[in-house]
Structure 1
C-alpha cells in the first residue's frame, strides 16, 4: 500500500459502542451489494438536488425498493441533497422532500440552509445531516449546526484527528467523516475550475474533475513542461484509513464514510467488505486487534490511485499528490456475480460482467466467508451448450466451482501481475 509510515494518534479518546459503516450507492444494484457486503447505511442521489448528476440516480420507486432491501439487513438509506441552490432550483423542493420521507429515507445530507430548514418543516421524519460541503472544522460550528436541529455533521475532509477529538469533547453530536476514496483538490468541494473550463457547476452536480486533467505549464509564454514530457495534475492521492481503524474508533467518529457513488459495483463491494472485517475485528477484541494483510490486499484489488491518510495526522505535502504518471489501474477486473449454486453437482450459475474464458485464474469472494481461487474450466450456457468464452454482457454462465459459493458472491480475474 502506497502510504506513509503508519502514523499514530496519541490524543484524547472517545470510544464508541459501534461506528456506522456508510457506503456509496450510485444505483439500486450497488445499494443492494453495499448492504449485503456489510454497510450499515448507504447514501444515494435522487433525481434532483445532488452533486452527482452523472450517476444513475434513484427514482422514488427505486428508493422504496432500496429502503425495503436495506431494512432486511437492519441498514438505513440516506439521500444527498447537497447542492448550493439557486432560485430556480427551489421550485418543487417541498414536494421532493415529502417524497423522500414517504419513500422511507432515513436522512438527507444537505449543505444549503434553506434545504435543511425546508426539510425540518415539511418532512420532519427526515434527519438532516450537514454535508461536508459546509467545510465544518471546529467545535463551535458543529455546535451551531446542532443548535439548528441537525443530529449529525459530516466534517470537512481537512479535519484532523485532534480536531475531531476536540469537537467530540465539546459537542454531543454525531460526527461523520470520509475515511476512504477520492480527495478533492479544492477545499472540501468548493471548486470553480469546472465552471470556468466546461461551464459545468461542481456545486450543482456537474463537476468535470478538471483536477485530474493533464496540463501544460507556462511562465511568461515559455513552456516549462507539458503533456508530451510529463503529466502534471492537481490530483491528490486517494484516502485510505484501513490501517488506522483503531484511531478512528477511539477518537469518536460515529460514521465511517466511503466516497464513490460513481465507482463500480466491484469497487463498492470490495472496499465495504474490507472495512467491515476490520471494524468488526477491532470491536470484538480491541486489546488483541491485528490488521490483516489480506484486507489491505483486497483494497489494492479495487484501488485506482495511490493511497494515503489524508489530513487525519498532518497536512498533505507534495508526496501526497500525483504529479507524474499514475500507477497502473487495479490488477483485477470484475468478471461475474454468482446467481445460484448446486451443492450436489458443484455447478454455479455466474452472471457475466466482463470477458473470461477457460484456463484463466479467477477469484471468488463474498461477505459470508467465500474466498478462493481456481482455474476456469468448461463453460456452458443455460441450455447446456459449450462456450469457448463468456463474452456476452450479463449472460448466465454455468461453470464448475471448486468450493461452495452463494448468490451475490463475486468473481474477479487478474488482468496484470
Structure 2
C-alpha cells in the first residue's frame, strides 16, 4: 500500500511546531493577507522564515495559502507577497483564483502550485485543465465520493490529489458562502468568515415585522445550517486505495492540542495501514477514534466520501464538544504548563505514538529563577516537575490533559 502524506494545519508558529513534532509530513500556513483563515494567528515574513527552516530541517514540507479570491486592487500586494515568500523557499503555494495562479506562475515559476478546495474541483477534466495551467496538485471539493476520487486519479495520475479527512465543514458548496458578507459585513471568501451558519435563526412573516417565530424541533432550537465535523478515519483504507496523495486535516484556528492529537492519530493510522495492513488498522481503530473524540469537535460525519445518504447538519446546538482540557507538554524533563494543574487532579498522559495513561497528581515542583519550589498547584506559563501516583513512561512531547466533561460555544 502506497503511503500518503499527512498534512496538518499551522495557524501560528507554535502550532506548526506541534504539527511537525507530532508526525506531519507537511504543514500549511498563511501570511497576514490573502488566505482564508484571517482569524488564525498567521505568520509575518520573519515567522514564516523560522517556520520553514524548522520544518525543512526535520524533513517536513511547507505549503503557503494564497487562496482568497482577489479583486483588481489586490494584485500589486499579491505580487509583492509572492516575491517575498519565494525567497523563503516554501514547497508550494495554495491558490483558488485563476488570476492569482497566473501571478504565482509568473513571479515564482520555481514553486509548485496547489489548487485549493475553494476552486471546487469535482471532475477529472478540471484537473487536466489545472495541470495544463501549471498546477502539480489539486485539493478536491469536499462534495466528492471515494469512487469519484478514484476515477479522477485514474484518469489524471500525474497530478497529486489532496483530500480533506478531518475537521470543520461548511454548509455551503465547497465553502463558497456569502452569509457572512451580508449578516456581519465580513467577507468569507477573503478569510474573515463570522460563521453565520452556526447562529440560531428565526422566521419573520412579511406582514408581521418585528414578530420573530422560532425555528425549533424542541426547546433547544434548531441550527438549520450548522454542519457536523468531518472525520474520515474509518475510510482511510479506501482513500489510500483510491490513490489519494495527501490527507488534509482542517483547523488552523484550532488549538495546539488539537493539532497534536489529530496529527498523531492520522500519522499512526497511516503507518499502521502501510506497514501492517488493514487488519492491524481495524484492530486499533476504536482506540484512534476515541482519541479524536478527546479534541474539540462537533458530532462527526464521514461527509460525502462514502456516498451514503446522511444528515450532515447538527440541529441541536452549534457548540463544540470539549471533554478534555490541555494542561501542558513535556519537554527536556519539565512540564510546560498551559492550564492550571493541582495536586489531586485525575489526569491523562498522552504519548505521540497514540498511547495514553491515567494517573493522579501527587506532587508539583515549580521552577522559579532556576530553583524548584514545592507547591500545591501551578498556573499557566510555568515550568514544573509533576509527580504522579504511578510510574509513567514519560517521553519528550508527552501531553498532559484532564477530563472536564463540558461543551463550549463556537
What residue in structure 1 maps to residue 403 of structure 2? 414
Does structure 2 conserve the Cα–Cα contact (< 8 Å) formed by 1:161 and 1:251?
Answer: yes
Q: How far apart are the structure 1 equivalents of 2:374 and 2:316?
A: 46
Confirm whether residue 159 of structure 1 aligns to residue 144 of structure 2.
yes
Encode CA deviations 1:164-216: one digit per residue, 9 max, x unaligned: 11111211211101010111110111100000001100001110000111112
Q: How far apart are the structure 1 equivalents of 2:186 and 2:288?
A: 37
**CA shift at 1:224, angstroms?**
4.6
Query: Where has structure 1 moved over 6 Å in runs of 4 or more?
Result: none
Confirm whether residue 168 of structure 1 aligns to residue 156 of structure 2.
no
Of 369, 377, 386, 1:399 maps to 386
How large is the Cα RMSD of the aligned pairs?
Answer: 1.9
Confirm whether residue 263 of structure 1 aligns to residue 254 of structure 2.
yes
What residue in structure 1 maps to residue 219 of structure 2? 229
What residue in structure 2 maps to residue 309 of structure 1? 302
Question: Could you say what secondary structure the match of 2:362 adopts?
Answer: coil
261-270 or 217-226: bigger deviation: 217-226
Encode CA deviations 1:110-137: one digit per residue, 9 max, x unaligned: 0111211111111122111001111000
Q: How far apart are the structure 1 equivalents of 2:394 and 2:34?
A: 40
Q: How far apart are the structure 1 equivalents of 2:308 and 2:212?
A: 30
Does structure 1 conserve the Cα–Cα contact (< 8 Å) formed by 2:198 and 2:318?
Answer: no
Matches within 5 A, 1:6-405: 17-172=2-157, 173-219=159-205, 221=208, 223-226=212-215, 229-233=219-223, 234-286=225-277, 288-291=279-282, 292=284, 293-314=286-307, 317=310, 319-325=311-317, 329-341=321-333, 349-368=334-353, 371-382=356-367, 383-391=371-379, 393-401=380-388, 402-405=391-394
Q: How far apart are the structure 1 equivalents of 2:330 and 2:276?
A: 33
More strand per residue: 2
Q: How far apart are the structure 1 equivalents of 2:24 and 2:278?
A: 24
Question: Could you say what secondary structure the match of 1:92 adopts?
Answer: helix
Q: How far apart are the structure 2 equivalents of 1:193 and 1:299?
A: 30
210-219 or 134-143: bigger deviation: 210-219
Q: How far apart are the structure 1 equivalents of 2:385 and 2:178?
A: 50
224-233 or 40-49: bigger deviation: 224-233
Q: How far apart are the structure 1 equivalents of 2:67 and 2:318?
A: 30
Structure 2 stretches of 5 or more lacking a match?
A: none
Structure 1 stretches of 5 or more lacking a match?
A: 1-14, 342-348
**CA shift at 1:339, angstroms?**
2.3
Does structure 2 conserve the Cα–Cα contact (< 8 Å) formed by 1:218 and 1:225?
Answer: no
**CA shift at 1:407, angstroms?**
3.1
**CA shift at 1:330, angstroms?**
2.3
Q: How far apart are the structure 1 equivalents of 2:154 and 2:179?
A: 37
TM-score, normalised with respect to structure 2: 0.91
Does structure 1 conserve the Cα–Cα contact (< 8 Å) formed by 2:113 and 2:136?
Answer: yes
Does structure 2 conserve the Cα–Cα contact (< 8 Å) formed by 1:370 and 1:409?
Answer: no
